[in-house]
Structure 1
């Protein structure tokens, strides 16, 4: 089995490598290719990756290359984890929206639109080259904004599934609080990527006992503290929202915080510099503890599970993924991409049925899905008016004066990435 990781020079990659090494019985990788144009980073990450495999006795071969076509040739699955423009572009995404009093974030709001517009054309080019190299290869997308990117891939006819670590993070957190094995926790996870709620926490499987009320009663303060939301909100919802709902539920509070603190991008850039220095140490043969603060916790377990299921291995039958709606949420179009529990096998991902949603959830999902429709059109076709329409439709922007100003700033900060600008 051959896997390729596009964006293999990312500081995330040792997390992924560690998972491949530990879970080799689930996903028996024989060849792993790390693909990245950043030669210096790739050399450091590739060296550590080989040492991790060697320490854990993994027999697989790890190679590195800047040549995308060579790297994906014959790959059974290709994982995408790239960031077009790097942390510098992310820093801009998190900064210029604040000048209009709007949240600065790399996956939602105006910054999220900028990232989508930079990313979608690049990902589609990569996907076409993967298809030429091996039409049967699966594409697993971890590149943000996952929902929009996955929709672009599926709309272009690629064999693709989107993946995020939010759900597996909640699964692991709930398992710790309940003092049970993670595999015993099944989530009623419903929403879009980075706009989701845990509406139930079931023991043993989709039809198991729902212990979410007990979790909220016994551990509500802990969960609220982790999410930086008031305990009363969780109690009134009777659900656990993803951290990203804070941008919607406490928008003005977040904007005030962001205006007085360094951007997340600047913090991550400093962390990456430290991580890369660690990766260059020939004595290091395991992922460092600092990597847990970088983000992407449990990404490796989720990625291994998904790849194994898609490739006919021993992955879990039911997983939280991003895939076509296909009637699951009847108030959304079939070709909307949603993030829910799905049955995954060699044919792809099929969402499990979802009970009728409270309008409080359904309304916001419909609103953001409408924005994602317009965002994808802007990413695929360009043009100032398409950018404006997407921003005006976003619930975190929504006012025409803001949308006009943010459109100009988005284009100005990303002109080098837009052929039409």
Structure 2
């Protein structure tokens, strides 16, 4: 299998201060460029692939890290400002699914027309149309115009055409977001099949669980530079630490009657403000309370809800036999929770009241004060809303 070698790669984009600057550049045929530039890729050095076998490589990073720019440079859509790229073999890129499709044509007609863009002959396309439709799950809709398809159906068809034939280097930008879980597994199995036949596949995605399940290695980009290159588990953890840091200042909220000033901050076990955790991590919720008069026998409650509004967890200091008082000196209530939650997005809110429930004698209530995301643990994948930390044994049975 050919090896991809990138040396000292840089890609810059001009920053135009005004419309006149754009016109000046256009009229000069690009000879007059503004002095200010944005460097999307900076001095990037990378070697991917092995001569003996194929590889699936995940490319991750926060928004603006340069992932899509790198794929566009590798695919030839845009030229690098400087540096070299060496690769001897065929290259195919899936950067925007559905480009070239016509809404008025049927699926069969679109396969014939669009497949030519992927360097497939009409003879190949006619012979393998049924195979494409079967993979996309669209055999029953083959003769319907594309304008009657849902977006997901169109994307499945586009992916099936684009990946019909393997290539030495396949570049994929967020294309795995199409379709349901069943279709995603079909896509991953196709990638594994191409990898086993010697292809180098470079995938950009924000889905760490998906990448960890399919990639042989991962590369983390940050501000156009390689921050880490290694095993999927290690790179995913670094990525989570990078994007999970929260730079937002703690916002203080005042109760409607002005009695209380409160704030909530979500932290990891090291005391850093974050908005992402792995399932099983420890989280710290710090609630600060300041009152304009002395209040005694108070209860502080906390509740965590799923993205659909279902209660995932709730408790309060009354249930935990911890009452407190508040006055002109701030007091802090600290909850330490082991986040045995399933992967997904969650919100957290809190309340200050007396007694067991906030239904009566409530001084402050916030349904949503912050949000965070849970990723499945790197070494123990699971499904569902709760991580029950299973332990499995396989034992011989003796009669």
TM-score calculated relative to the size of structure 1: 0.25
Structure with more of its chain in helix, by fraction: 1
Structure with more of its chain in strand, by fraction: 2
Q: Which has the higher contact order (CA 8 A, sep 6+)?
A: 1
TM-score calculated relative to the size of structure 2: 0.26
